[in-house]
Structure 1
Amino acid sequence: MRTLVNSLRLVVVILVVVAIVAQWLVSMRTPQYSPFNFFGYFTIQSNVFVAVAFAVALVSAARRKRADLVVSLLRAAATVYIATTGLVYNTLLTNVDVSTSVSWSNDVLHRVVPVWVVLDWLLFSDRARLRLRHVWWFLVYPAVWLIVVLVRGATDGWVPYPFLSPSLGYGVVALYCLGIAVFIALTGILVIGISRLRTLRV
């Protein structure tokens, strides 16, 4: 079982890297390309987070370590962020142009990876039992990301997603931000709860 799980995680890491690179190579050829914009999308960052978390988990598994708390927190955070990416995209952005020009890469980053990462956390037992207080750690990175996006929206006018545009009014944007924060917190609580379940032994 351990070999199967690690093999699947390695596939996810490779898939994320290939999908991001494919999209990046196409985006670089467009006149409006900017590395700060491309890597400013939460989709890209959350998928990179997944690749890093799974890579760290693979290294930990290779060293035969069991349920390390730091590794488990990293995987849990990756699960929360990629679940947010999947839900926001498939509810708010399905019919919105967010400058994604490689369709298969779009599907991998917004649908395939989110589903598999959630299943990985749900099904396999190689994770430490997390505590409710850990949910606050999950909010740090999204909060920093939102602050940077809002500052950029107010200064150079660039925002990654239309529901964060200052043109909507900061009251509306604040409601969207609050909704995302609540969803991340609730997802974090759920992820922590799942960490205490007995699942398939790895």
Structure 2
Amino acid sequence: MKKKLALFFALVGWFAVIAQFILMIENRVTPIPEAVIRFFSFFTILTNTLVAVYFTCIGLMKNHESKTINKPGILTAITIYIFMVGIVYQIALRQVWQPEGLQKIVDELLHSIIPILVIVFWYKYERTKSLKHSQLLLWAIYPIIYLAFVLIRGSFSNFYPYPFVDVTNLGMASVLTNSVILLVVFSVISSLFVFIGKTIIKR
């Protein structure tokens, strides 16, 4: 059941990411190489791709081959990342634009449906009793590296994927403040997942 569910979730994830890529290429305002870089500059795209890769591995690997990817904490980290994608979108970005047609479907998959699917999978299969608060620092590496990449590349490309990290419009001080707030939220949510896993689910 776990493998079948993982493969289904993987298909949903790959469909959403690939469909978004096609839509972006069709509506690009820059040359294709730059458009591709910008596409993968979005935390949403990187994280949904990570989700799709994870579920593909879980669904296709044999049990003895997937020991590393099944270690407690890996699924939790991915769940926190995609949860952040969903919560930031709902609070800060949903009102920014009103997609229509296929774009609306893909948008809801990337920001709403897939986060819910991953949380369900986490609730059902993560070995939560083995989670540790000490893992939070390790989980934070990915968003910190992402933030550094966005700010460094934006300094010479003048492209920032999200308005709250747009140094051109907000200034570096405001962007760093926003980044610290997001990292604090990330830490709180991470702690909540560990707490819920260890004290409520206790698998």
Contact 1:69 1:127 (8 Å CA) reproduced: no
Structure 2 residue aligned with 1:20, among 17, 20, 44?
Answer: 17
Larger relative contact order (CA 8 Å, sep ≥ 6): 1
Number of matched residues? 197
Instruction: State the alpha-carbon separation in 2 of the partners of residues 139 and 98 from structure 1.
Output: 31
For residue 145 of structure 1, report the CA deviation from its aligned partner. Answer: 0.5
5+ residue gaps, structure 1, are: none
Give % identity.
Answer: 24
Instruction: State the alpha-carbon separation in 2 of the partners of residues 45 and 26 from structure 1.
Output: 16
Matches within 5 A, 1:31-50: 31-33=28-30, 34-50=35-51
Name the counterpart of 1:151: 152
Contact 2:10 2:56 (8 Å CA) reproduced: yes
For residue 157 of structure 1, report the CA deviation from its aligned partner. Answer: 0.6
Instruction: Give the SS at the match of 1:95.
Output: helix
TM-score, normalization by structure 1 = 0.85
Structure 1 counterpart of 2:107, one-letter code = N
Change (3 A) 1:132 1:29: same
5+ residue gaps, structure 2, are: none
Name the counterpart of 2:184: 182
Instruction: State the alpha-carbon separation in 2 of the partners of residues 99 and 37 from structure 1.
Output: 19
Change (3 A) 1:87 1:127: same
Instruction: Give the SS at the match of 1:195.
Output: helix
Change (3 A) 1:103 1:119: same
For residue 64 of structure 1, report the CA deviation from its aligned partner. Answer: 6.3
Bigger share in helix: 2
Alignment root-mean-square deviation, CA: 2.7
Alpha-carbon displacement from aligned partner over 1:144-197 (angstroms, at most 9, x marks no partner)? 100111112221110111111112111211111011111111122122223325
